[in-house]
Amino acid sequence: MEVSKKHTNCRVCGSAELIKYFDAGWMPLANNNTATKDESLDTEEHLLQVLFCNECGLSQLSVVVDPVVMFANYDYRSAVNAGYVKHCKEMAVQLKNKYNLTEDSFHIDIAGNDGTLLKQFQNEIGLTVLNVDPAENLTAIAEMNGVDCITDFWSTELAEFFVLGSNFKADLITATNVFAHVDNVNDFINASKIALQPNGVLILEFPYLVDFIEKMEFDTIYHEHLSYFSVLPLMRLCSVNGMVITCNGMVITCIEKFSIHGGSLRVTIAHEDSKHLIESSVSKFVNNELKLGYNKIEKYLNWSEKVSTIVFDFKNQLLNIKNVAAFAASAKGNTLLNFCEINHTDLLYIADETPEKIGKFYSGTGIQIVNKSEIVKNPPDYIIILSWNFKTEIIEKVKKLGYKGKFIIPIPNFEIID
């Protein structure tokens, strides 16, 4: 397989009627940080464009990069994000109570990273867990922390192999912040169907397209995020799996909204003949998306024009500011800086807490990633919070280090906080 390939048919409905509404041009892989500045500035780039499916309404990238290139060795770790850890703890309590999970329950987490989510379920309930993640460096960490792992991509083939080999099906399958990364979403849902108990549930959490549009979150566009989901195409996907792949369909039973990652949905999916009833929240989200026009291309074209204005303003504001650094070498930050053409001549450094990132150079920019202690050793006058979705926690953390300067919030509008 080539490193990237053109995407011409909608991954949910198969339609070829895809309309481009966002174009960032040629961009580097967001998490492909390098050992040297020269490598960072000369890193391979791929088109970064978003297309709207005129048939089912799915937003999706125009190219697909080989997932092995992006995920086989991954330097994002869930455990360093205190906001996400808190979210996981709350999730364990909520799902335990709602679905009567016990020590006898079995939980699979797809793309479970370093096992952070599963550890919360182990601590809260004591159930049996399994992390399925393709990144060898992360599954090694998870296993050291007592989480059993399979180092692989989730697929129908893997699910069949596991179920046949173990005669074990899951009461709960979770997939947080991974569904947007999946190319073959039909296979993903079908694999989950195979691995679920008759009354088990699949929980998907992903950044919500409505927040992505309404809050101008264009920086969440990067090559790992192949799709940008609303409920409408997800409903179509579940019905396709019901009618085409097997006679035992899947249905969305519940939808909840959370503020994490700039606005995320938690979607519960179950076998259509399970005991789980379809809650009123499902029709509420569907009707709201139709009312707001998320099934029409005009919504997205208008959004793209507004993004251009935000990018122009961000670049111009930074021109008038000196002695600037950034915090959090996130994927979204990489999109922001590269799209706005901000590089090592504009920023002193990017401070971070992830050990795997320290000392590397931010993909495409030549900016070095340093330990957060650099903020005290070499304090800037301004810090751009690249992971603005965790701005409250980051500001508190940086102030505790002794930082006395100002903060810049880039999204949805340029804002300076003392």
Please count the other Cβ atoms lying within 10 Å of the Cβ belonging to residue 130.
21
Q: Please indicate, yes or no, whether residues 204 and 295 belong to a single structural domain of this protein.
A: yes
Of 161, 135, 7, whose CA–CA distance to 71 is shortest?
Answer: 135
Of 278, 365, 293, the closest CA to residue 325 belongs to: 365
> Considering the domain boundaries, does residue 77 fall inside one?
no
pLDDT of 241 reads 52
- The mean of the pLDDT values for the chain is 92
Give the pLDDT of residue 292. Answer: 97
Share of the chain above pLDDT 70, in %: 96
Percent residues over pLDDT 90 in the chain: 82
HEC sequence for the chain: CCCEEECCCCCCCCCCCEEEEEEEEEEECCCCCECCHHHHHCCCEEEEEEEEECCCCCEEECEEECHHHHHCCCCCCHHHCHHHHHHHHHHHHHHHHHHCCCCCCEEEEECCCCCHHHHHHHHHCCCEEEEECCCHHHHHHHHHCCCCEECCCCCHHHHHHHHHHHCCCEEEEEEECCHHHCCCHHHHHHHHHHHEEEEEEEEEEEECHHHHHHCCCHHHCCCCCCEECCHHHHHHHHHHHHHHHCCCCEEEEEEEEECHHHCEEEEEEEECCCCCCCCHHHHHHHHHHHHHCCCCHHHHHHHHHHHHHHHHHHHHHHHCCCCEEEECCCHHHHHHHHHCCCCCCCCCCEEECCCCCCCCECCCCCCEEEECCHHHHCCCCEEEECCHHHHHHHHHHHHHHCCCCEEEECCCCCEEEC
- Nearest alpha carbon to residue 387 among 417, 351, 416, 341: 351
Q: Is residue 190 a part of any domain in this protein? A: yes
Q: Indicate whether 335 and 306 sit together in one domain.
A: no
Q: What is the CATH number of the domain that holds 331?
A: 3.40.50.720
Residues 197 and 314 in one domain: yes
C-alpha span between 113 and 140 (Å, rounded): 10
What confidence tens digit (pLDDT) does each residue in 104-134 have? 999 999 999 999 999 999 999 999 999 999 9
Q: 294 and 167: one domain?
A: yes
End of a domain among 320, 344, 370? Answer: 320
Asked whether the predicted pLDDT for residue 349 surpasses 80, the reply is yes
* Statement to judge: residues 295 and 380 lie in one domain: no
The alpha carbons of the chain give a radius of gyration, in whole angstroms, of 21
Residue 290 lies in a domain: yes
> Quick check: is 9 in a domain?
yes
- How far apart CA 305 and CA 354 sit, in angstroms, is 35
Q: What is the model's pLDDT at position 245?
A: 34
Is 173 contained in some domain? Answer: yes
State whether 360 and 220 are in the same domain: no
Rounded to an integer, what distance in angstroms lies between the CA atom of residue 252 and that of residue 239?
Answer: 10
Domain CATH number, residue 11: 3.40.50
Q: What is the mean pLDDT of residues 148-171?
A: 91
313-322: per-residue pLDDT in tens? Answer: 999 999 899 9
The residues, ordered by sequence, that sit 6+ positions from 340 with a Cβ below 8 Å of its Cβ are 311, 314, 315, 318
| Beta-bridge partners for 251 | 270
**Is there a single domain that holds both residue 328 and residue 397?**
yes
User: Looking at residues 168-183, what average pLDDT do you find?
Assistant: 94
> Distance between CA 237 and CA 289 in Å, rounded?
16
pLDDT at 63 over 90: yes
Q: Does residue 268 sit in the same domain as residue 348?
A: no
State the Cα angle at 352 between 327 and 371, rounded to 5°. 115
- The residue among 241, 152, 231 whose CA lies nearest residue 196 is 241
Domain boundary among 287, 320, 353: 320
- Mean pLDDT score, 90-100: 95
- The rounded distance, in Å, linking the Cα atoms of 171 and 255 is 19
Residues 349 and 264 reside in one and the same domain = no
Residue 118 in tokens: 């599963």
Q: Which residues contact 252 (CB under 8 A, 6 or more apart)?
A: 231, 234, 235, 238, 267, 268, 269, 278, 282
Domain that holds residue 245: 1-65+154-320
Report yes or no on 106 lying in a domain. Answer: no
189: in domain = yes
Considering its fold, how many domains does the chain have in total?
Answer: 2
Write down the pTM of the prediction. Answer: 0.90
The predicted-structure confidence for 226-270, as pLDDT tens digits, reads as follows 999 999 999 998 875 543 333 347 899 999 999 887 789 999 999
pLDDT of residue 262: 76
pLDDT score of 365 more than 80: yes
* Region 390-403 average pLDDT: 93
Average pLDDT value for residue range 135-142: 92
Same domain? 269 vs 315: yes
Task: Look at residue 83 in the predicted model and tell me its pLDDT.
Answer: 80
Residues 386 and 299 grouped into a single domain: no
- The answer to whether position 97 is within a domain reads no
Q: Which of 278, 297, 320 is the last residue of a domain?
A: 320
Q: Please tell me whether residues 273 and 332 are part of one structural domain.
A: no
Structure tokens at 383: 């810090």
Instruction: Please give the Cα distance from 213 to 135 (Å, whole number).
Output: 31
